[in-house]
Structure formats: structure tokens, C-alpha cells
Amino acid sequence: MRVITGAARGRRLKELQGMETRPTTDRVKEGIFNIIQFDIEGRRVLDLFAGTGQLGIEALSRGAGSRGMVYGQELDLKYEVLAPTESQLMLIHHNKTGALINAAVQMGGAAAGATEAQREALEQYAYGLGLVFQIVDDVLDATATTEQLGKPAGSDKDNGKTTFVTLYGPDGAMTLAQQVNQDTCEAVHTAFGEKAAFLEQLAAAMLERRS
């Protein structure tokens, strides 16, 4: 018996001997995870490998974990009292918003049987999309009204939080968002051609949102 997909693909597993003993599905899953758990990067994350190494579940687990959304949230809280540099701000949102979107995108890629090269292209797209979303979010907090946002406007400034608007100003931040969006769309179009149309439209919508 071997793991047929995911990071542990091809790993041969120990089996119960004899035709009279057939393990239940739960037993098989438990046994597989016990065997490969120490060879899976990010194994301390939720332990949601389901014993099969399925790429979709791995994507969710890693995206949510100590080098994903949890880490991004930790950094976000840390830099509420420390002013982050541009690279540190990028790191926060790479591991927060970006990781969240990448988990969703990678689960879709896994379900569709994406190749490794395609998964890498989707990852680049997801992190780019996450960055654009966050930059626009910062701009809206500084320029939109409470009624438009559905939440208190200007809260970042009131709380002394460093954002892309702090670093670039509203216009400069939007210019950055447009450049990241263009690079993101070009990359995903190169990888998927016309099939990337929906992904490009979704990225464009990030620039146009008003709440």
C-alpha cells in the first residue's frame, strides 16, 4: 500500500499481513498518519492530513497554521505596538490574507488535478491577490466613510496602526496595488491562458471594491 497523492506521494506503507485481517477505513487513516507524520512539513498545524496526504487538506492545514494565517495574525498583533517596515508589513499580509486565499485556491487546484507547475502559478496568484486586497483595504479605511464600509472608518489611523497608506499615502498605495494586480494577472495568464479569465476578473474586482 502506498500514498497516492500529496507531499508523501509514493511512500510505501506497512500493511497488516494475511487476507483474513482487513483494517477499517479509520484504522487505515490512523496508521498512515502515524507513519508519515514526522516527514510532513508543517505537521504541527491542525493535524488535518486525514491519513492520505491529500493536497487539498494539506493546503488548508498549512494555510491555517504556524506559517500561515496564525503566524500572520501573530505578526499583526506584534506590530500593533511596533511600527513595521515595508518588508515586515508585506510579511504580515503574506502570512495572513495571502495564506487564507492561497489555501482556498490550492484546494481548488487539487480538486481539479493541477500539476505542480500550475499549483506554483496559483500560489503566486493567490499571494498577489491577497496583497492587493489588503492594500485596497488600507486605502478604503483612510478614504471611505463609515456608511460605505459598514464599519468605523479611519480606525487604522485612530489606533496608530502602520498600513500601506502610512507608507505610501492613498494615491501611492493604489498605484502599488495596480502594479501588483497587473503582475499577478500577467503571471496567471501566462500559466493558464484564456482559462485564467475568471481569475483575472476576480483580481480586477479587488481594485474596484468600495467596501
- List pLDDT tens digits, range 53-68: 455 556 565 655 556 6
Region label for 15, one of left (φ > 0), alpha (ψ between -120 and 50) or beta (otherwise): beta
Q: What is the pLDDT of residues 65-109, one digit of tens each?
A: 556 666 667 777 777 778 889 989 988 888 888 888 888 888 788
Looking at residues 105-130, what average pLDDT do you find?
Answer: 88
pLDDT averaged over every residue in the chain: 78
Highest mean pLDDT among 21-25, 63-67, 135-139: 135-139
What is the distance between the alpha carbons of residues 211 and 144, in angstroms, rounded to a whole number? 8
DSSP string over the chain? -B--SSTTTT-B-----SSS----HHHHHHHHHHHHGGGSTTTTSTT--TTTT-HHHHHHHHHHSTTTHHHHHHHHHHTTTS---HHHHHHHHIIIIIHHHHHHHHHHHHHTT--HHHHHHHHHHHHHHHHHHHHHHHHHHHHS-HHHHTS-TTHHHHTT---HHHHHHHHHHHHHHHHHHHHHHHHHHHHHGGGGHHHHHHHHHHHH---
Residue 174 and residue 159 in contact, taking contact as beta carbons nearer than 8 Å: no
Ranges of each domain in the chain: 54-208
What is the distance between the alpha carbons of residues 50 and 58, in angstroms, rounded to a whole number? 9
- What is the pLDDT at residue 122? 93
Looking at residues 34-43, what average pLDDT do you find?
Answer: 55
Question: Over 50: is that where the pLDDT of 19 sits?
Answer: no
Question: Over 50: is that where the pLDDT of 51 sits?
Answer: no
Q: What are the distances in angstroms from CA 156 to CA 31, 70, 140, 142, 149? A: 48, 21, 10, 8, 13
- What is the pLDDT at residue 45? 41
What is the distance between the alpha carbons of residues 200 and 204, in angstroms, rounded to a whole number? 6
What is the distance between the alpha carbons of residues 56 and 108, in angstroms, rounded to a whole number? 7
End-to-end CA distance of the chain: 51
Question: Over 70: is that where the pLDDT of 124 sits?
Answer: yes
Q: How large a percentage of the chain has pLDDT more than 90?
A: 34
What is the distance between the alpha carbons of residues 172 and 168, in angstroms, rounded to a whole number? 5
CATH code that applies to domain 54-208: 1.10.600.10
What is the distance between the alpha carbons of residues 158 and 146, in angstroms, rounded to a whole number? 14
Sign of CA dihedral 157, 160, 162, 167: positive
Asked whether the whole model's pTM tops 0.75, one would answer no
